[in-house]
Amino acid sequence: MPRVVDHDQRRAQIARAFQRMLAAEGFAGVSFSRVAAEAGVSVGLIQHYFAGKDVLLRFAYEDAVSRMSERVRARVREGGAARLPAGEVLLDSLAELLPLDEERDVEYRVRQGLQAQALHHAGLADVARRAGGDILGYVTAVVENGAERGEVEPGVDAVLAARMILATAQGLADQVALSGVGAFPERDVLRRAVATVFTGRPGSHDR
């Protein structure tokens, strides 16, 4: 019987090889031939799945964002099941944006590299806007939930608070990437940013 090919898996295999090369060497070191060697496939196969480099760029960007988002959602599910305070769930979720291990470091470098390209590439800009809007919406919703549970003071602008927390998380990710993991207490810095918004205790507004 002929072997059944999982096309989604094959696309992901190629995209992950591209991501690894981009993370390690930047755009100057990336070509279809080198990606093919890294992925263990032929250049022709890459061209079968991706009509050009721009198509591969967009797919790789979407893949990196999707994997990050899935880990964030998993943290939310785990926190909800454990009935953790909203601020603690947010802290655990935002830690997934930091390049604290090999997988997250590759994703961080891919997101940063392709986001820079998005300034001159409409397709990548669309991915960047959607990804940014999704994470902003998530953090905003957590802040609003925190307000309902008494963890956030009434009257706090949820969107502005979310933008401040995300700006801190992004800047922190940059520092980790440049300084290295463990150079400073990353989670403590992130905790302080979250704590400036989540100043109350669950149920404190019900008293």
d(CA 146, CA 99): 27
CA distance 143 to 156: 9
State whether residue 111 is helix, strand or coil.
helix
In order along its 207 residues, the chain shows pLDDT tens digits of 556 568 899 999 999 999 999 898 888 778 889 999 999 999 999 999 998 888 998 999 899 999 988 888 888 889 888 989 999 999 999 999 999 999 999 999 998 988 888 888 888 899 999 999 999 999 999 999 999 999 999 999 999 999 999 999 999 999 999 999 989 999 999 999 999 999 987 765 554
Q: Mapped to the 3 state alphabet, what secondary structure does 79-103 carry?
A: HHHCCCCHHHHHHHHHHHHCCCCHH
Residue 122 CB coordination number (10 Å): 8
What letter represents residue 201's amino acid?
A: R
